[in-house]
Amino acid sequence: MRTFPLHLLLSLGALLALGGYASRLGFLPGAWVGAGLGLYALLVLWGLRFGGRHALLGLGLSAYWFPPMAFLVPLLYALLFGRALREKEQAALYGWALVWPALALLLVWHVFPTFYAFYLSLFERVNFLRPAAFAGLENYRILLHDPLFWKALGNTLWYVLFTVPVGLFLATGVAILLNTQVAFLGFYRTLYFLPYITALTAAAAVWRWIYHPEFGFLNWLLGTPGLDWLNTPKGVFALLLEPLGVRPQGFWAGPSLAFVAIMAMSVWHFLGYQVVVLLAGLQAIPKEYYEAAELDGASFWQKHRLITWPLLSPTTFFLFTLGLIGAFQVFTQVYVLTPTGGVLQDTLTLAFYLYNKGFRDSDFSYASAIAMVTFLLILVLTLIQRRVLERRVNYEI
Amino acid sequence: MRFRPGALFVHLLLLLGGLIMAFPFYWMLATSLKSPQEALQAKPIWVPERMKPSNWLKAARLGDSPLWGGLAPGRSVELVFPGKEGPPPRALIPRTPGAFFDPRAEGTRVEVVYREGAWRVRLTNTTEEAFPSLPLVVLWPKEVPLQAPLPPDAIRSQGEHWRLEWVNAVPGALGYLFHNYLEAWHAAPWGRYFFNSFFTALTQVAVGLFLAALAAFALARIPFPGKEAVFVLILATMMVPGEVLLIPNYVLLARLGWLDTYYALIVPWLASVFGIFLLRQFYLSLPQDLFDAARIDGAGYLTQLFRIALPLSLPGLVSYGIFTFLGAYNALLWPLIVTQSPEMRTVQLGLQAFVSEAGSDYGALMAASTFVVLPVILGYFFAQRQFIQGIARSGLK
């Protein structure tokens, strides 16, 4: 026996209402909506063969004026008439009715904007109030010759390369120490975790104060007689940073160390999150493995290399991916610590450049081009990472 | 537990790391209690004067009430400087810089007399209004040994005199301790900021949770046609970084006329891919027998969701709630873009504006940072387990 595709009818009706609204806002040519309406009318006529009640309730025309209605209509319909349907129909109707509210929001605020960003990036300098000329890939061509973009890209890559591995390394160390079942676990966990729930704005304000070139705590610390070997012209910092092309100076005093300071602060901020997640991963590893290894006479390092590391790899992989995506979008720290982008735009990152271009210079198309390039970079890196790393991830416990 | 020699070393290591993690918090708190003079010392001050209980007792004796001080109309307060007789000190009420007319400076009568082994500075409010705070400067001859009734906020040399400055000569114990907090609180409409932040975050949590639960249940428990397609779409959405959405969503909000409203702060982030995933994972882990039994007893899908799945997935709901709340409360970039008027700004924006405007008033700045992070940290201490588990759960595969 054939079942009536009620869910299809309701879903299309909802989509059509959304399309109508989109065309009213000027995102969609009215002709498309008209064509959709015609198609829908045909479907309704076909649906009438199965019994008029279902088909007539399909379209909430009111949704044209109040779009959320479109996605509540299936839910209301399911509530009112769901019980009377056959089992398969019921499942289809309920499934779509429950999925629609969230799915519609995703379509409107995530899926559509992704394409729209690309569309915007193909036009000459737009801010959405003005019509603009189609420019093809011109924005991307300009982008490739934009020294500020390359600076932002370089900074961002440097940030990713530094904060993600260093953060993970430190967090793994702390998590392994915490997992040795020492006393005061809760106390230590709280110590390491608090920065993460602290708003970045506030944390950055505090660090800005700690880094202050004249009255900051850190410059005092580096200048105290016992520690000045760190920061003198021949000190440890100079030794480490000069090969990277960075001249160490007082924090914040010169351009070069500002970005290092931002990176250090970011590692501090996200460490707690990584520790908590890694600790959960560690605690999921059965104790028997370690006991067996101990019986076989494995050393501390052997246990960690042969048991902890492989079994923790899914968690590490997850944190790595997440850290990578997050690090590419670093904005808040940079914005609060150096609101103007630092001396000579020294602390510019991709997200910050996007913000500057889009919302200070109101050049939405160029900013969209930056966004698309970032997206592409993240996508490529994630794919490479999946290819290279995921093969080594061990999903069995 | 048997004693392990390594444990002491582990504790030392963890404690050292923890101290580094916690130091910025201590520094924020300590600086928020410093006077301007103390904050701007090149050599850091670990325990500011305002943190010392003996000074609270002294402050409690000054002003109308022992807690918050102040000087009511017609009332007077006497500051006692014990010491030898010599050239008389001079006392004056400084005018706020840039103030055309300052009632406190115009309306306070100042008398200085020597009686019973002490110089007494008597301040009388001759106006019709009460002064919540009263700044005071005393020029103290250098040849007379000095014993101030309350440690001055700033002391500097001025010719033959020491120039002693108090931001408030009638503080009361709490007014003395929290002077920077009062100042920071009155510098911006923080009440409104807090309301906006909480309203935005809580609405996002409540509505987002509801929508995510509906969708997750359908994806986990209802066999409906098109389920795989929906799931792939949601997966794909996860690959798009938030950066890409900034500009298109801004355009969309502008066309809807929603800029600078609560809609702009809340609606775009209501559908959460993370939430749908997390809850779906929970629903998948519930045994199918449970739902079969309910089905036999005549429960429809909605009953199954609200009576069985939702109550059993409480930990997942809490995780989602915490994550969403943290994200919304701590967000800076999105509110920065979509709001303009002070009435719609959130706490983080208020703080950010404060950071760039406060100049060298680091005490007030740190005070503002403290009360911005306080709600979340208090929440953490009340619901530690949920916080930790919620975060740990995000790393489950």
Q: Choosing among A12, A94, A363, which should be mutated to test the B contact, i.e. which has the most B CBs within 10 A?
A: A94
Q: Beta strand B136-141 with B161-166: parallel, antiparallel or unpaired? A: antiparallel
CB contact under 8 A, A197 and B241: no
- Number of Cβ within a 10 Å radius of residue B36: 16
Confidence category of residue B375, pLDDT binned at 50, 70, 90 = very high
β-bridge partners, B141: B161
- Residue B3 reports pLDDT greater than 70: no
pLDDT for B110: 92
To the nearest whole Å, the CA of B269 is away from the closest chain A CA by 8
Mean pLDDT of the region A336-359: 86
Kindly determine whether residue B244 and residue A339, on different chains, have CB atoms separated by under 8 Å: no
CB A259 within 8 A of CB B372: no
What was the pLDDT predicted at B34?
Answer: 92
Q: Judged by CB atoms within 8 Å, which residues 337-366 of A form the interface with B?
A: 339, 350-351, 354-355, 358-359, 364
* CB burial readout A46-73, b (16+ within 10 A) else e: ebeeeeeebbebbbbeebbeebebbbbb
d(CA A16, CA A203): 46
Dist CA B27 CA B369 (whole Å): 11
Rounded to the nearest angstrom, the minimum Cα separation between B258 and chain A is 12
Question: Which two structure tokens, joined as six digits, stand for A182?
Answer: 């020492």
pLDDT of residue A298: 83
DSSP string, B186-222: HHTTHHHHHHHHHHHHHHHHHHHHHHHHHHHHHHHH-
Q: Which residues pair with residue A188 across a beta bridge?
A: none
- Partners of B108 in the beta sheet? B125
pLDDT at position A388 is 83
Predicted pLDDT at A255: 46
* pLDDT greater than 80 at residue B236: yes
User: C-alpha angle A204/A209/A213, rounded to 5°?
Assistant: 120
Return the pLDDT at A67: 72
CA A268 to chain B, closest CA, distance in angstroms equals 7
pLDDT of residue B254: 92
pLDDT mean over B140-153: 88
pLDDT at A23: 86
Q: Residue A133 gets which letter from DSSP?
A: -
| Neighboring chain A residues of B20 at a CB cutoff of 8 Å | 268
d(C-alpha B232, C-alpha B219), whole Å: 11
Tokens 């019509």 belong to which residue?
A131
What's the complex ipTM? Answer: 0.90
Which two structure tokens, joined as six digits, stand for B330?
């701590």
Any chain B CB within 8 A of the CB of A328? yes
Distance CA B214, CA B210 (A): 6
CA distance A316 to A305: 14
pLDDT of residue A160: 93
Indicate the range of A116-120, A390-394, B70-74, B171-175 predicted with least confidence. A390-394
